[in-house]
Structure 1
């Protein structure tokens, strides 16, 4: 059985190479070829000893996930659907902006948290992704985009763990993947530009602060426990007081001096002036400008029974927070024409995956995506 080298951070790869009788500098060379240059064939790694290349061919590979489909939005957002086997799929989304390129990455196939407003949660949970499957989303997207955009320099400047799944429920695979993203011999991303989003698993927030502190975003969505219990079931285990205290502890280790609170605006549910004032009171109970709010327009799907807050209501809600000194922004929707906006990922992935994977195996549709240098979005429909 071959080993997928995408599963290793640099330390793991050094241990692997040591087991082959190779020195650490060989692991560094190999790591750079894989992540900086996007090499997937050992014969392309010209500065590796031929003996090592031959040795690696028999025991290792650099294996990305098959691409089931690629969709490009009118605003430049690109969404990829990756086959992870057994009828499951995950999605990653690239969001281009003038000053950055952000990749939204999945950590699980499905999600077990079951937030009421999230279509992924309604799909249910299938399994955790491996480190290699998390890293493969960045590996594929970065090197595809360089070819597609005809650029030699790095395209992806920010990674947000805000795709399918709850990252902190897949902690053992998440942390090595984060280390690959941050490593100067790989993608060299700043800790400030890698964000883990969590629905609030308090013990794992504390562990992340010690093991690999990056920017932290917390899916809050309610100002009190009674409401949050109905929207984010995890609140029953880790109520708001515990969650806010964990956020404060995290600040001592975080690369930024604030925590981002995500707040999905739901018409008539959590968007009243009273809710805004409750949030202000909860935030001001802890002195200082220690957090920011990101108000997210809800992207409706039939099973939720929820509606998007009206624009003037969102503006009024934001004004209450801003007037109280709580920095608040309203997220622009991106990619909603291809179901790539927040909360929309994988609303019907399972049905599409079964059909698409069968078509892909018959027609080998993903190969052009891996090799193309500027081809237009491949769209596959059942």
Structure 2
């Protein structure tokens, strides 16, 4: 195996382009109220009305906000934007899974996936970056390099455009029931914790009772193991709000160094220690993700190690169950 590549351990410098006008969907309720107070003075309830239009009703334009005065809408149009992401391709699988390609306003493509749950509802996998700042060997996004972080509004708008797609499909089919997105996982393009501020704000918006009103227990943020950001995740109480998933993918540092070069900076022991320190509700579990790579991390010894390494008396962690049950078909030569 070749030596691990250099790994970015700080948030990328090319973070976010400065928009000409702020995007209304990129502000949480408190920030929106403050911005409106500075740019559109009026009654205090106006901010909540507009926030609900943006995030509960997914208003496609300012004109849809029928209980906001025409003059106020015109002033909003002058000082802010509501331009959406655009879905320009959808792939359907036989089991109902849909893969969406969305275009940003500056022409970049990002991907999101809708996955049917066992009961009603769907889980949506969303992106946090265009490309990725890390170099995990098994990840297709890593081959794209890093372009930029996604804005808060680009993160939440993936959910809203997908729900609009489901509505349109149901209308076209004449269905009486519209499938609803009930779960969100940050497991798409990019390392979410390398875009911490925008992801944190997106979580606040998606879980706001006046907006999308998703339950925090149904949202999971996945990380390759960015230890300082995991520690911040714990300090800021996010372990009480949403789930955390650790992309582990190896049970020894020797293998993880090569599969996930970030491990050369924060090894498995350091990573697990950071996870154990996260304050969390008693029943909230941390998920450990493990992509099986033929001949690399799928030996019986890997399975045995995977079942004991996360155990901790203070904090219930989800063990890696039956790691060898289903192999991901992947030739070793493709990766190494």
TM-score (norm 2): 0.83
Query: Does the CA-based 8 Å contact 1:110-1:127 persist in structure 2?
Result: yes
Measured against aligned partners, the alpha-carbon deviations of 1:343-367 in whole angstroms (never above 9, x if no partner) come to xxxxxxxxxxxxxxxxxxxxxxxxx
Q: Structure 1 residues 257 and 41, CA, compared in 2 at 3 Å: closer, same or farther?
A: closer
Matches within 5 A, 1:211-360: 211=236, 212-213=238-239, 214-250=242-278, 252-253=279-280, 256-284=283-311, 289-293=316-320, 295=323, 297-298=327-328, 300=330, 304-305=334-335
Query: Does the CA-based 8 Å contact 2:307-2:320 persist in structure 1?
Result: no
Counterpart of 1:322? none
In structure 2, distance between residues paired with 1:287 and 1:11: 35
Q: Structure 1 residues 87 and 146, CA, compared in 2 at 3 Å: closer, same or farther?
A: closer
Give 1 or 2: higher helix fraction.
Answer: 1
* Residue range with higher mean Cα deviation, 227-236 or 274-283: 274-283
* Residue range with higher mean Cα deviation, 262-271 or 152-161: 152-161
Q: Structure 1 residues 255 and 44, CA, compared in 2 at 3 Å: closer, same or farther?
A: farther
In structure 2, distance between residues paired with 1:266 and 1:277: 16
Measured against aligned partners, the alpha-carbon deviations of 1:44-86 in whole angstroms (never above 9, x if no partner) come to 2111233322221222222212323122222211111122366
Corresponding residue to 2:138 among 106, 117, 120 = 117
Q: 5+ residue gaps in structure 2? A: 1-19
Structure 1 residue matching 2:206: 3-state secondary structure:
helix
CA RMSD of aligned residues (A): 2.4
Q: Structure 1 residues 201 and 24, CA, compared in 2 at 3 Å: closer, same or farther?
A: farther
The reply on whether 1:138 has 2:165 as its aligned counterpart is no
* Residue range with higher mean Cα deviation, 80-89 or 31-40: 80-89
Counterpart of 2:13? none
Deviation at 1:24, TM superposition (A): 3.4
Counterpart of 2:49? 29
In structure 1, distance between residues paired with 2:164 and 2:91: 17
Matches within 5 A, 1:127-206: 127-150=148-171, 155-206=180-231
Instruction: State the number of aligned residues.
Output: 305
Measured against aligned partners, the alpha-carbon deviations of 1:309-360 in whole angstroms (never above 9, x if no partner) come to xxxxxxxxxxxxxxxxxxxxxxxxxxxxxxxxxxxxxxxxxxxxxxxxxxxx
In structure 2, distance between residues paired with 1:68 and 1:255: 43
In structure 2, distance between residues paired with 1:249 and 1:92: 31
Q: Structure 1 residues 11 and 287, CA, compared in 2 at 3 Å: closer, same or farther?
A: closer
TM-score (norm 1): 0.74
Q: Structure 1 residues 300 and 244, CA, compared in 2 at 3 Å: closer, same or farther?
A: same
Counterpart of 2:68? 48
Q: Structure 1 residues 72 and 40, CA, compared in 2 at 3 Å: closer, same or farther?
A: same
Counterpart of 2:26? 7
The reply on whether 1:58 has 2:78 as its aligned counterpart is yes
Structure 2 residue matching 1:147: 3-state secondary structure:
helix
In structure 2, distance between residues paired with 1:39 and 1:184: 17
In structure 2, distance between residues paired with 1:132 and 1:237: 31
Counterpart of 1:335? none
Deviation at 1:232, TM superposition (A): 0.8
Q: 5+ residue gaps in structure 1? A: 307-382
Deviation at 1:9, TM superposition (A): 1.3
Deviation at 1:297, TM superposition (A): 4.5
Query: Does the CA-based 8 Å contact 2:128-2:190 persist in structure 1?
Result: yes
Deviation at 1:153, TM superposition (A): 6.6
